[in-house]
Structure 1
Amino acid sequence: MSDRVSAQARSEKFGQSEGEGIIRCDACPVLCRIRPGRAGACSRYANEDGRLVRTDPALALARTVESGGPVVAFADGAWDGKVLDPSRAFVTGVGAGTTYPDYKPAPFIVGATHDGVDTVTVVTEGIFSYCGVKVKIDTDRHLGPEAAPVRAKGEQVGHVTTAEYGSQMLSLGGVRHLTGGNKKEGNVTCETLLALCAAEPVTLTIDGGHEVVVQAGRAPIVDGTPERRMRVGCGSATVGIFAQQWLGHADEVIVVDDHITGVLSEHQAGKVLGMKPTGIRVRGRRSTPGRYFQVAQPGLGWGGTDITDPLAVIESIDAKVAWPGLRLLMTSTTGEDALWCVLDAALRPVPAEMPAAVRAVVERIGENCEPSLCTVLFMAGAGGSLRAGVTENPVLLTRAVAAGEVRVTMGGAPAYLWPGGGITVMADVLRFPGNAFGYVPTPALVAPIEFTLPRALYAKLGGHMDEIVPVEELLRGLGDQLRVEGWIPGNPWPFARP
């Protein structure tokens, strides 16, 4: 086993002996004093016979010879390093540990050759106080007012942000909730973020709104009811998409929507198709022909409104224009709610059995709706001191990352880099390996991050060149401190040429 990557060497890098077998762990600012056989407050580090060890092994991801193909699972037992071709291995920050204070070199600085290019991957687990998650909830249901506090276990952990097309958006976490409030708020925020990043369900309540259970990759559950569909579009868009298919089967179609309610005969689509006016006027503020704002209040009813009786959106019916027998369809933007009416002699809408041709179009609305889903994106600022574990002149790393010369991954998952100053990254939690996130009780989240770049550039940036360990040596030296899993399908290979 190489001295540079042995358990003893890692212990010396991460902690200091204080006598009587006690080790002071300096992986985070808490500086736990850990007695033999015990673990620190975060449960990520333990004292094993006077050595500070990670309770979880480091993680390497391996791919097959065929680029991006699946890999056969390795045995669950200790791996001897002989099975894995180093050219197919990517050492992630999961389980790598941290080197707080960060003037120390990162836990692993890995040298490898790929496609004839000498590369370096700097591997660490970042301690992120400036972090949170952005949650996209595919539903037209009203969850709560914009900017309303979002709570977990009674503590505010974020807020509702601006809605997107067919989706409600939450911004959770952030430094103010982690460290700017009271201790309980910080702990609950940290706990909530950890659960969401692990793709576990979390129950949230929104002030002035509703309860929602959020889980990455699953449908949201709003006030106990699982959502099924993301709307096909707003009311106006729905009219535009299906106008031709309603022609000849309905005289008027009203698509109820919290944003823009569409009225077919007034809409440009109806005009182009030659539909005659029906004299049916809906409530709300008319924007452009056939498009109405604010027909009702937001809610859990039709089209994300508080409407349960769709006829309530009708303000008036002009007797000079409408006629008995007029065929009226009212539908939501998901097709989950629909009502067919025929005007009687007094021009009152009377519910009737929906014709098969009309029913088919309503069902097609549902067919064109995507499944309702929760998406959780981890977001963090890596522009702080962890850069010193990469290079002695951190601004050079920041500039190289911004210029696209350094590839940033998180547990091997691709990371979106926000433009502007610093290194602000965002990644889909479902593209991370399992158990990728941890915490320190400051509180802050711990997440893997890797920087991959050509060796020549690393030298130019003032990198810790003496700390580079060949990947073959690292894989063998870690021994039973290493676990190997298959490369996650869909994630780009970090060493691939742009």
Structure 2
Amino acid sequence: MSSYGTPPMTEHTKVDFGADRVDGATATTPGPTVLEKAAPRSERMAVNKIECNACPVLCQISEGRTGACDRYANADGRLIRVDPVCFVSRATDATEPTAIGFSAGADAQAQTSADNSAPLFVTGVGASSTYPDYKPAPFIVSSQHEGVDMVTVVTEGIFSYCSFKVKIDTDRFLGPEQSNVRCHGEIVGHVTTAEYGSQMLSLGGVHHLTGGSKKEGRVTCDMMLALGNKEAVELTIDGGASLVIRAGAAPVVDGVEERRMRVGCGSATIGIFAKQWFGHVDEVVVVDDHITGVLTEHQAGRCLGMTRSGLKIRGRKSTPGRYFQVANPGTGWGGTDIQDPLAIVEGFDPAVARPGMRILMVSTTGEHAQWYELDSDLVPRPAQMPDTVRQTVERIGENCEPSLATVLFIGGAGGSLRAGATENPVRLTRAIKERLVNVTCGGAPAYVWPGGGITVMVDVARMPDRSFGTVPTPAIVAPIEFSMTLDAYRELGGHMDAIRPLADVLAHGPEHLEGAPLARRTLARHPDNPWPLGMPPMLG
């Protein structure tokens, strides 16, 4: 939703043809952008309403009100796009995003300096969609990059086939694989395969959006909108934890904010720090839900000439010094359910162990650590940890990256998006796979999955704020841009008659504005993002 401060639209309109009233907050506009003339009037529509044809809902909008998606409104009988179009500047040193008003004329030329590169890039954020699919994309913009004539096809896609993959950097047990993930009691996704040092969730998707109850679809859509727009979302996992996740922020698990991602599994931690422990300890056990490491049995200890300690550990032995299933998954030491590390120790072989042996037990993040010394009965007793050993524990923590929640949007770009670029959509698909087209989302680089179709994946943290919207079908609205050389666009049968120079877009806005100024906001390019008009990244 826009928040730029001119008079707000009063409320949502009622959608005709039997659809329910959709409740929600109203939107504001910084000098709204007129989109186009209203669609042909329905015989059932009141004379003070206009019909919005930007999505299949076909809202009938009264004067001064927004449609059900909060993105379109009726202003003096004209259909307007409430939010401004988002431009990305090639500069990376701007501070706060600002809404920029535009005056035509010489300023337009100044915005497109003649240094063989376009200093501004039109993103799909706020650009409008191609629905009802037969019309060209809202912006098909020509510019130059390093002396090459370029074309960028810009639109907002209406995605039913889309989801979010959430990477949560923690060893904590979040829930069994395949367990349902819920938001406000509704199933919105599931726990998927854990990756190295991270737990993974798959959220949203077409079956939750449209395949369940109306409430499930609405809750799923709202949850996805919040995630994409970098807002905090509360989730619960069946048989597992409660979570608060937000893109680029530390996850909160059962009310506790995570701090560290593990340095490695227990075996890897042994290998990394074995030389630093050598001579200062007689045994180290690195507790881990995946692979618990035992130093003197491990190949690293053997290569250093360490003598076996006689420690007997619970669990299933994999290879020397590496143990599986020492405990159940949980939120304790090393992602297990134990709070006392001695719970995984069965004892010490009296033929090998000796009183006074020094034992370090530590987790894979260094957050848990305890020093023991064996008494005369070979019972480990807590003791003061030597400074040299404490430094190695601190170094484990130093080598752990900060725990973050990373949110990746995955969407399938279907027929309507491709038809907005060309009358022969398969040519766009082929050109993307041949690396003739660079695909971005809000100017952020998108990974295009191999195989059929155009399935894109993008890190929402690298996209502009407020990049995502919704329509009440329900579906997610997300920006997408296709950039290529002018020759490549001609080859794939693009809408050549719809191409407009960047300076003309800046000066006059969309072609159907009839001279009205373009409402836009300009952001500095994210410092991690390559300039969108460059070569596309390697595909999988």
Q: TM-score range by the shorter chain?
A: over 0.9
Residues 167-186 of structure 1 mapped to structure 2, 5 A cutoff: 167-186=198-217
Measure, in 2, the Cα distance between the counterparts of 1:43 and 1:474.
Answer: 24
Report the CA distance between 1:62 and its aligned residue. 1.7
> Which residue does 1:496 correspond to in 2?
534
> TM-score, with normalisation over the residues of structure 2?
0.88
Letter of the 1:30 counterpart: V
Is the contact between residue 191 and residue 202 of structure 2 (CA under 8 Å) also seen in structure 1? yes
Q: Which runs of 4+ in 1 moved over 4 A?
A: 71-77
Deviations 1:389-411 (A, max 9, x none): 11111011111111110111111
2:145–2:533 contact (8 Å) kept in structure 1:
yes
**Structure 2 unmatched runs, 5+:** 1-31, 510-516
Give 1:472 deviation, angstroms. Answer: 1.0
- How does 1:380-419 map onto structure 2 within 5 Å? 380-419=411-450
Q: How far did 1:118 drift?
A: 1.7
Separation in structure 1 between the aligned mates of residue 121 and residue 370 of structure 2, nearest angstrom: 57
Aligned to 1:332: 363
Q: Which amino acid aligns with 2:182?
A: R
Alignment match, 1:321? 352
Cα distance, 1:179–1:76 mapped onto 2, change above 3 Å = closer
3-state SS of the aligned residue for 1:292? strand
1:140 is matched with which residue: 161, 166, 171? 171
Distance 2:535 2:208 in 1: 40
In 1, Cα distance between the equivalents of 2:307 and 2:525?
60
1:109, 1:120 within 8 Å by CA — same for their partners in 2? yes
Q: CA deviation at 1:481?
A: 2.1
**Does the aligned pair in 2 maintain the 1:79–1:483 contact within 8 Å?**
no
2:387 corresponding residue in structure 1: 356
The residue aligned with 2:111 is 84
If the length of structure 1 is used for normalisation, what is the TM-score?
A: 0.95
C-alpha contact (below 8 Å) 2:413/2:454 kept by paired residues: yes
User: How far 1:120 moved relative to its partner?
Assistant: 1.2
User: Does residue 61 of the first structure (1) align with residue 88 of the second (2)?
Assistant: yes
Q: Answer whether contact 2:67 2:73 (CA < 8 A) is retained.
A: yes
**Offset at residue 456 of structure 1 (A):** 1.8
Mean Cα deviation higher: 83-92 or 153-162: 83-92
The Cα shift of 1:73 comes to: 6.8
CA displacement 1:155-182 (0-9 Å, x = unmatched)? 1111111111110011101101111110
2:347 and 2:482 mapped to 1: Cα distance? Answer: 64
Distance 2:275 2:243 in 1: 37
Distance in 2, matches of 1:392 and 1:417, equals 22
Task: Give a deviation string over 1:307-327, Cα, whole Å, max 9, x none.
Answer: 101001012311111111111
Moved more, 298-307 or 71-80: 71-80
Of residues 170-179 and 451-460 in structure 1, the stretch that sits farther from structure 2 once superposed is 451-460
Q: Note the C-alpha offset of 1:477.
A: 0.6
Confirm whether residue 24 of structure 1 aligns to residue 51 of structure 2.
yes
Q: 2:101 matched to 1:70?
A: no
Q: Does 1:49 align with 2:80?
A: no
Q: Is the 8 A contact 1:144 1:208 kept in 2?
A: yes
Residue 75 of structure 1, CA deviation: 6.7
Q: Any idea what the Cα deviations from partners look like across 1:360-380, whole Å, max 9, x if unmatched?
A: 111111111111111101110
Q: CA deviation digits over 1:54-96, x for unaligned, max 9?
A: 00111212224xxxx4247797552215152263111111111
Q: Which moved more, 1:381-390 or 1:426-435?
A: 381-390
Give CA-to-partner distance per residue, 1:268-303, whole Å, 9 cap, x none.
001011111111110000000000000000000000
- Write the mapping of 1:245-260 to structure 2, written as runs, cut at 5 A: 245-260=276-291
Instruction: State how far apart, in whole Å, the 2-side matches of 1:439 and 1:297 are.
Output: 41
Distance 1:135 1:73, change over 3 A: closer
User: Over residues 237-257 of structure 1, what are the superposed CA-to-partner deviations in whole Å (9 max), with x where a residue is unaligned?
Assistant: 111111111111110111110
Q: Deviations over 1:446-474 (max 9, x none)?
A: 00101111122212211111111111111
1:433 aligns with 2:457: no
| Cα shift readout 1:107-132 (whole Å, capped 9, x = no counterpart) | 11112222222221111000000111
Give 1:34 deviation, angstroms: 1.0
In structure 2, C-alpha distance between the alignment counterparts of 1:73 and 1:228, rounded to whole Å = 28
CA distance in 1, matches of 2:457, 2:466: 18
Given residue 35 of structure 1, which amino acid in structure 2 is its aligned partner?
S
Distance between the aligned counterparts of 2:397 and 2:200, measured in 1? 22
**SS in structure 2 at match of 1:53:** strand
Residue among 105, 110, 124 paired with 2:141: 110
* Alignment check: 8 A CA contact 1:281 1:315 kept: yes
| Deviation sequence 1:206-251 (CA, Å, 0-9, x none) | 1110111111111111110111111111110111111111111110
- Residue aligning to 1:3: none
Cα gap change, 1:74 to 1:409, in 2 (>3 Å): closer
Contact 2:100–2:521 (CA under 8 A) maintained in structure 1: no
User: Cα 1:469–1:282, aligned 2, differ >3 Å: closer, same or farther?
Assistant: same
Q: Quick check: 226-235 or 478-487, which moved more? A: 478-487
Name the residue aligned to 2:376: 345
The reply to whether residue 226 of structure 1 matches residue 264 of structure 2 is: no
Q: Indicate which of 35, 38, 45 corresponds to 2:65.
A: 38
Equivalent residue in structure 1 for 2:525, among 455, 464, 487: 487
How far the C-alpha of 1:428 sits from its partner, in A, is 0.6
2:512 paired residue number: none
Question: Residues 62 and 149 (structure 1 numbering): CA distance in 2 closer, same or farther, change over 3 Å?
Answer: same
Task: Give the alignment partner of residue 286 of structure 1, picking from 296, 317, 329.
Answer: 317
Distance (whole Å) between structure 2 residues aligned to residue 208 and residue 162 of structure 1:
16
Does the CA contact (< 8 Å) of 2:164 and 2:407 recur in 1? Answer: yes
In the TM superposition, what is the alpha-carbon distance from 1:17 to its structure 2 partner?
4.3
Partner of 2:453: 422
My pick for the range that moved more, 341-350 or 71-80, is: 71-80
Question: Matched residues, percent identical?
Answer: 63
State the aligned residue count: 487
Q: Which runs of 5+ in 1 are unaligned?
A: 1-5
